Structure 1
Amino acid sequence: MASPPPMGRRVTECRLQVAVTADQTIVFIILGGTLGLFIWNRWRFDVVALVALLSSVVLGVVPADEAFAGFSDPAVVTVAAVLVLSAAIRSSGFLDMALKPLLPRLTHPDVQVFVLAGMVALLSGFMNNVGALAVFLPVALRVAQRTGRSPAALLMPLSFASLLGGLITLIGTPPNLLISGVRRDMLGEGFGIFDFAPVGIGVTLAGLVIITFGWRLIPTDRRGRGAPEDTFRIEDYTTEVRVPPTSPFVGRTVADLEEEGEGDLTVSTIIRDRMREYVPHGHWIILSDDILLLEGDPSVVKRVADAAELALVGGEEIAADPSGGGYGVMEAVVTDSSPIIGSSPAQLQLRRRHGVNLLAIGRRDRTEISRLNRSKISAGDKLVLQGRLEGMPETLSTLGLLPLAERNLRLGQPRHLWLPAAVTGAAVIVATTGLLPVSVTFLAAVVALVVSGTLPLKEAYGAVEWPVLILLAALIPVSEALQTTGGTELLAGALAEGMRALPPVGALALILGATMLVTPVLNNAATVLVMAPIGVGLAGQLGLNPDPFLMAVAVGASCDFLTPIGHQSNTLVMSPAGYRFGDYWRLGLPVSLTVLAVAVPLIAWTWPLS
């Protein structure tokens, strides 16, 4: 008979067991409080995540020297880089050009939903799904306006399609990146960029079928507030452009040029014959060296000027400065006390004296504007000015101008139509071959666009969703604490005890369903960080392969179709479509059940359970 261990040893073991139990309790309380604060929705989610991190450090479940380890996690770097690349593609005009031949053919409601949702899903596989939705949001609103349909019938399907398409690749959605990081930390190697494709493609196709015919379940009597960019929309501006001899519109009609603006642009004046001014009809032929006065929003003017290769009169080509001190464009309003009231831009010599170019003037009575350089500036005029950004605030103050709400205006900036898409495509290829890690590859793509002048550094920083990154970085150590304290094994053991009577596929379905239920109330990234360790622990308890359980968590965390708060895509469309909280489940419930029914057998077939 073995002798009992010494008393000191038994006391040490008892104390260790108590300490571990206490740490588990602390972690569960912190995660429960975090979940409660997310549901309460009174504090910003990034603030809640930071509070959770600091509480974990103070209470000793996260070592102080590991508190900020999440900020160096490759998943955080990759998410930031993908957001920046998405913004670069969106502002390049590449998609506008690619979609132009297709838009007039979208007439039937089912075709509109299927084509637009399919494009969003496809694009979401290769760029951040929120960025893909943002690209097609104005397109959907334009289609709805042209066909007289409610935007509510289109925007929710597009949001759901962005979530589905993000399942296809590693970079399509942050949960996939996080799941790959969890697998790398726990099993020694992350997922490849297309490891998600067999399951993601099948789930996406099934979901698109439900969305195409199920959009009728959405209440279409909602009235939204318009697209996000319309929040800052002002009346149209008047912009001067010159027609160079190389323009493809030389010899074509005014109506052709206005058609390029899709009804949102007007050629109000043609200046030719030694500066004589004409009010043209649509059949007038555009000649080389004509000066045209275009009326329209600067974003529309930019798109048409790029397509027609028109040169801004008085504008200088922007050369982006990687140091951050480059040129840019700002909108400003002339105050009642401005010293420039009653003067023309020619008299003010804006470029020589103040280092800025006047690109456009916005005024309610545009008939008073003949030539920009000669028009007398009035109080209330809106001006689009181009100059060095670092000196712009001082210049606006000197001229008595107030800056308007900032928009992503690229009027007067050089066009880089293909480069952002080409660089992103090259990054995907390099990441696929495994030559470099995904995080390094996409960060290199961002640096290439900034250094080449394609993407101004200010826009690159502005494209990053910093609250999302802080959320990820802050919760990574907290979720690791759940594992290091044994909390994941405890939860996995409880789940495994309840699943012993279930077949392995049933256990897989349960973890997928549980993750889908948690996602609407817990941010999808936080859901991954909480549920992934549980999934791995559950697989270990049942003696099964952990990969299918990680895949189930990835799918479940990305598929919140029931509420507007579980994913940013759903939140993004809520205001433009005028949705209410209870509108989402009407279409979201059939889509969720479809995902559950299709994903489980696909995961089990692609990633064997044993």
Structure 2
Amino acid sequence: MAVPQPTTAMLVVFGLTAAALLAFVREVVSPDVTALAVLVSLVVLEPWTTVDAATAISGFASAATVTIMAMYMLSEGVQRTGAVQRLGAFLARVTGGDERRVLAATVGTTGPLAGLVNNTPVVAVFIPMISDLAEDSHLSPSKFLIPLSYAAMLGGMLTLIGTSTNIVASDLVATDLVPDHGPIGMFELTPLGIVVLLVGSVYLLTVAPHLLPDRVPPTLDVTDTYEVTDYLAQVRVRESSALVGQRVEDAFTSMELDVDVLQLVRDEEVFIAPGSDRDIVAGDVLTVRANLQDVNRFSEAYDLRQLPREEVTGDSLSAPWIRGELLELVVPPESDFVGDTLAELRFRERYGSTVMAIRRGSQVTHERLDAFELSGGDSLLVYATSTAAELLADEDEVLVTRGPAGETENPRLSPKTPVAIGILLAVIGLAAFTHFPIVVTALGGVVAMVVTGCLDIDDAYDAVSWNVVFLLAGILPLSAALRASGGAGYLAELLVLLAEGADLLLVVGVFYVLTGLLANVITPVASVALLVPVAARSATELGGDPFSFVLAVTFAGSTAFMTPIGYQTNLMVYGPGGYRFTDYLRVGAPLQLLLAVVTTLGIGVLWPPG
């Protein structure tokens, strides 16, 4: 079969697609901004793309986009009840510090839970629980956090609402891509999802422990984890010091040295800096964060006496009578902090807290922290007053993964817990067993959450990952343009030529592998939105069942295991686990290959392609 020459319209759409993929990979701007740029470009090039303004913004009103927004809100309502936190505390008690039991509890709980609640908040709640449990048990958190992320991703395939990619695929299937097939049912994916979760869990429990390194060594002191001991010192203020009579904060505003004051110790009292309004007097002892050279310069400049470099530990900084807290914060991928420096954020003044170190994967930075540009997945070691710790715990732009705000020792259940869980189950049940579509039941669930007081409307809006919403709304018109221009059909014909004479199930497997690889470097949502039309058209050209091909793309979109940037939960555990980029490839590549075989064979049994 000869493939016709591509038309100008196809070439224009292909060019936009290639530019979008390059921008996704190079991260020229954030993925959601790239998607919006594509949306605008489609309208500007309407004579070739056939995408007018109304079609371009239709992604904001698509069932997939609205459903995903609603599910973020519903998940937040359930999370606020304390039910997930209580489950984490229960697991901490029953595992007893045994590595195998901790891992089994992590995987065995996270996977099924992620099928009902959006997997991102599940991972957000479990990170501090796993980190604290590992610390108490003298185990490395690196052994558990990647399995936590992977299990949440695997569990997302259990139901339609488990992950955003399922909802996107369902919305596309409801068009004319798959004749005589409406949206994907709530539990239509469940049989194969169970198989995938079981196989993946066995891998995580047996093979993964041998592949995961101890990037963060077992320790009882968080200062050891961030290697800050050599950057902590104490100095005593002499009577002749120029600091006498100055406020702690005012004394260092003009200082060019990279020195932060953490504490002011006077007799038996300890005052936390910044935020202290006390004047420095002779005899005060200052606990500072700086390297040895800057401590020496600091002492000489202000006539201070260095005390013996006794080790300053987490216990000495955060003892109960001191009212100071050591916190670990993670910057989520969607945080407004991404791209800003601590100086630009005025972090010390804004939160009354001091950043002592920043970890990006396995790399820890201790110097010139004010100039450090934050990125998604970075984790920060912060010293704060108890009041400031509470402020940070309520801050939507960071996730507290270690410290009092992240503890799960005795979480309380809200009186609204049965109501919130009942609403979520009602949303699922109505979508599964009535004629109401999931978008309607999900919105109804949000209304019920707000009316019953389970969720405040402001918290509902804050719960939405708007970057995902804008990414999806911007990329769906590109998917439509691929179909309208004939580009999807053209690519399908090329694939048909390459696959001529091949078994249909083998072609299904090729689509699975292609989608999985693409999802690792762009985003799962974008890869599914772009490849579902091509897969469905290829199946039609080959005389196969389009639904089988679409399912291969859908399942593969949730297997971005090989990079920390492939899925947001991977990035969330990147800093706390101290991982390197290659750790994801070492553990994720065999799992992705294993699931490519299992899922393809499962599709062949449950939904034969031809």
TM range (shorter): 0.5 to 0.7
Q: Does 1:447 align with 2:447?
A: yes
Amino acid of the residue matched to residue 198 of structure 1? P
Amino acid of the residue matched to residue 87 of structure 1? E
Q: 1:41 to 1:384 in 2, by over 3 A?
A: closer
Could you tell me which residue of structure 2 aligns to residue 63 of structure 1?
Answer: 52
SS state at 2:182 partner: coil
Q: Does 1:51 align with 2:44?
A: no
SS state at 1:577 partner: coil
Alignment of 1:68-107 (within 5 A): 68-106=57-95, 107=97
Q: Aligned Cα RMSD in Å?
A: 3.5
8 Å contact kept, 2:114–2:162: yes
Alignment of 1:180-219 (within 5 A): 180-186=170-176, 187=179, 189-213=182-206, 214-219=208-213
Superposition deviation, residue 416 in structure 1: 2.5
Structure 2 distance, partners of 1:526, 1:472, is 7
Identity of aligned residues (%): 31
Could you tell me which residue of structure 2 aligns to residue 108 of structure 1?
Answer: 98
Could you tell me which residue of structure 1 aligns to residue 235 of structure 2?
Answer: none
Please tell me whether Structure 1 or Structure 2 has the larger radius of gyration of its CA atoms: 1
Could you tell me which residue of structure 1 aligns to residue 148 of structure 2?
Answer: 158
Could you tell me which residue of structure 2 aligns to residue 582 of structure 1?
Answer: 582
Q: 1:565 to 1:381 in 2, by over 3 A?
A: closer
Could you tell me which residue of structure 2 aligns to residue 509 of structure 1?
Answer: 509
8 Å contact kept, 2:76–2:121: yes
Structure 2 unpaired stretches of 5+: 227-261, 264-269, 272-314, 328-348, 354-382, 397-404
Count of residue correspondences: 446
Deviations 1:208-260 (A, max 9, x none): 1111122220121247998xxx9xxx9999xxxxxxxxxxxxxxxxxxxxxxx
Alignment of 1:82-481 (within 5 A): 82-106=71-95, 107-186=97-176, 187=179, 189-213=182-206, 214-222=208-216, 382=387, 406-407=394-395, 415-481=415-481
Amino acid of the residue matched to residue 541 of structure 1? E
Amino acid of the residue matched to residue 122 of structure 2? A
8 Å contact kept, 1:504–1:609: yes
Alignment of 1:541-580 (within 5 A): 541-580=541-580
Structure 1 distance, partners of 2:60, 2:416, is 32
8 Å contact kept, 2:559–2:592: yes
8 Å contact kept, 2:215–2:579: no
Q: Does 1:530 align with 2:530?
A: yes
8 Å contact kept, 1:94–1:418: no
SS state at 1:566 partner: coil
Deviations 1:2-45 (A, max 9, x none): xxxxxxxxxxxxxxx99x71110011110100110111113111
Q: 1:85 to 1:58 in 2, by over 3 A?
A: same
Amino acid of the residue matched to residue 65 of structure 2? V
SS state at 1:67 partner: helix
8 Å contact kept, 2:134–2:140: yes
SS state at 1:422 partner: helix
8 Å contact kept, 2:81–2:413: no
Deviations 1:352-378 (A, max 9, x none): xxxxxxxxxxxx99xxxxxxxxxxxxx
Amino acid of the residue matched to residue 162 of structure 2? G
Q: 1:223 to 1:466 in 2, by over 3 A?
A: farther
Q: Does 1:39 align with 2:25?
A: yes
Amino acid of the residue matched to residue 56 of structure 2? A
Superposition deviation, residue 65 in structure 1: 2.2
8 Å contact kept, 1:38–1:522: yes
Amino acid of the residue matched to residue 407 of structure 1? E
Amino acid of the residue matched to residue 17 of structure 2? L
Q: 1:128 to 1:404 in 2, by over 3 A?
A: closer
SS state at 1:221 partner: coil
Q: Which moved more, 1:413-422 or 1:20-29?
A: 413-422
Deviations 1:115-145 (A, max 9, x none): 2112111011112122222222222112111
Choose which of 15, 25, 28 in structure 2 pairs with 1:29.
15
Q: 1:384 to 1:179 in 2, by over 3 A?
A: closer
Q: 1:550 to 1:404 in 2, by over 3 A?
A: closer
Structure 2 distance, partners of 1:296, 1:26, is 59
Superposition deviation, residue 73 in structure 1: 0.5
Could you tell me which residue of structure 1 aligns to residue 401 of structure 2?
Answer: none
Superposition deviation, residue 516 in structure 1: 1.1
Structure 1 distance, partners of 2:412, 2:89, is 22
Deviations 1:66-108 (A, max 9, x none): 1100000011111111111222222211123334343223232
8 Å contact kept, 2:81–2:414: no
Structure 2 distance, partners of 1:68, 1:53, is 8
Q: 1:297 to 1:446 in 2, by over 3 A?
A: farther
Structure 1 unpaired stretches of 5+: 1-16, 238-262, 270-294, 300-330, 336-363, 366-379, 386-402
Q: 1:412 to 1:104 in 2, by over 3 A?
A: closer
